[in-house]
Structure 1
Amino acid sequence: MTKWLKLRQKDRILDLCCGTGRHSLALANAGYRVTGIDLSPVLLREARTNDPDGRVTWIECDMRALPDDTMFAERFDAVVNLFTSFGYFEEDSEQLKVLRQIRKALKPGGRFVIDVMNAGYTEDHLVPHSKRVERGAVISETRRIEKGFVVKKIVVQEPNGSPRRYSERVKLYAPEQLSTMLNEAGLVLDTIYGGYEGEIYDARQSCRMIMVGHR
């Protein structure tokens, strides 16, 4: 990915939807100056715990509305949005706000990576139900595609405890749709990869759709 982004040592990278920081910290380890943004204070708390030396700048905010200060306007050499962290919102207009924030954060000529599920592959290979055990808890997940969204219901059953229930939803996009939205946001799509090793993208066979481009 760093090759796709044409990064140099000490370049500034924004990890948009950084979660617990696994990608941010890997980039910091590689010598880049990294800012991680996420809406979840719980995930950011874990990210800070994983970063005792404070190598990454961690900020809590909505991906649709980055802080309006000089730290974000045309500040970054690259923006990464990884492992299906795009498509959370019901309306395309809200997803477009995210893309415009990416443009705002990038320096002129700065590059981006947006990594999402490939719609065709997901439709063909969706697993309706799965179950696993983690730290003694049984985690059951059901999945379906509804109105263009992958909807996932999660039940966590702790030993001797009441079940906890969660839901997730992410929109599936065809490459043409996302390309149009990128153009509308003022971003240029250069390449689509089908996997993390730079595989050629195939609409039905590729498990990922990784959009790489620039401002």
Structure 2
Amino acid sequence: MHNWYEDSFGEDYLLVYRHRNLQNAYEEVKKMIKWLHLQDKSSVFDLCCGMGRHSMALSEFGYTVTGMDLSAVLLQEAKKLDKNKKVTWIHGDMRKIPTNESFDAVVNLFTSFAYFESDQENSKVLLELSRILKPNGKFIIDFLNASVVKEHLVPYSERSTEGVKIEEYRTIEQEFVQKRIIIKGENQERTYIEKVKLYDLSAFEHMISSAELQLDYVFGNYDQAPYDEKTSPRLILVGHKQA
């Protein structure tokens, strides 16, 4: 039996999320840089880099970037984007990052966290993030706001792209938000599951301090608005590794 994240981040993922573009990533990174206060040419690790949009934007700003993902398909897309081979791309699992290098910053963006059933497995990711950070190195985790997701869940949506219909069914099951994606094309139908554990700020605070990390700021969106549990679209955690 495959885990959902081994099946979902393939060719069809590119179809479902094609509308997410480089320009948005560039704008988000521009804001993030202010929070990180990094020197020129600092080393940044993009943990779960997907198609590489944010990694590419970070390298545009002059950082030395390494992007890692578990999906060979998405890494292939990232490499296509990286025409000048500016970024180091590596294949790996976020619970056991295949490097002994240390970085000035680690970013984990776009809800690329809490994919695993147990708190212990999810906490492992933060321990690994901490392991590859230099003392005083910075981190950003950009996660969904669990309470807003619960309150404003859209149970069903559909759209069409490139001749296929994409239907998305969303439910909250136990502590997870689950999305069932059905792709309907000519004479064929494919189904994928995406599933994320709904951690709130206090759960993150506990996991972060257990990983010897310190939280400096909590924002509710990329415009740096303070985090509000009831209204913020995102939960963006910015902090550093204790020296």
Q: Residues 68, 13 of structure 1: CA spacing in aligned structure 2 closer, same or farther, 3 A cutoff?
A: closer
- Cα deviation 1:29-88 (Å, max 9, x = unaligned): 11111000000000000100111211000000000101253xx2xx21100000100110
Opposite residue 160 of structure 2, the aligned amino acid is: V
Counterpart in the other structure of 2:3? none
For 2:94 and 2:200, the matched residues in 1 are separated by 22
Computed over aligned residues only, the root mean square deviation of the Cα atoms, in angstroms, reads 0.8
If the length of structure 1 is used for normalisation, what is the TM-score?
0.96
Q: Secondary structure at the match of 1:2?
A: helix
Counterpart in the other structure of 1:148? 175
Counterpart in the other structure of 2:202? 176
1:99 aligns with 2:99: no
For 2:98 and 2:78, the matched residues in 1 are separated by 20
Opposite residue 190 of structure 2, the aligned amino acid is: R
1:55 aligns with 2:55: no
2:57 is matched with which residue: 6, 22, 26?
26
Q: Secondary structure at the match of 2:62?
A: coil
Relative to total residues, which structure has the larger helix share, 1 or 2?
2
Q: CA deviation at 1:123?
A: 1.0
Counterpart in the other structure of 1:43? 74
1:200 aligns with 2:200: no
Q: Secondary structure at the match of 2:41?
A: coil
For 1:68 and 1:58, the matched residues in 2 are separated by 12
Opposite residue 210 of structure 2, the aligned amino acid is: E
Counterpart in the other structure of 1:108? 135
2:98 is matched with which residue: 67, 76, 92?
67
For 1:39 and 1:118, the matched residues in 2 are separated by 24
If the length of structure 2 is used for normalisation, what is the TM-score?
0.85
**Would you say how many aligned residue pairs link Structure 1 and Structure 2?**
210
- What is the percent sequence identity of the aligned residues? 50
Counterpart in the other structure of 1:17? 48
Q: Secondary structure at the match of 1:189?
A: strand
For 2:227 and 2:97, the matched residues in 1 are separated by 31
Unaligned runs of 5+ in 2: 1-31
Unaligned runs of 5+ in 1: none
**After the TM superposition, which parts of structure 1 deviate over 2 Å for at least 4 consecutive aligned residues?**
none
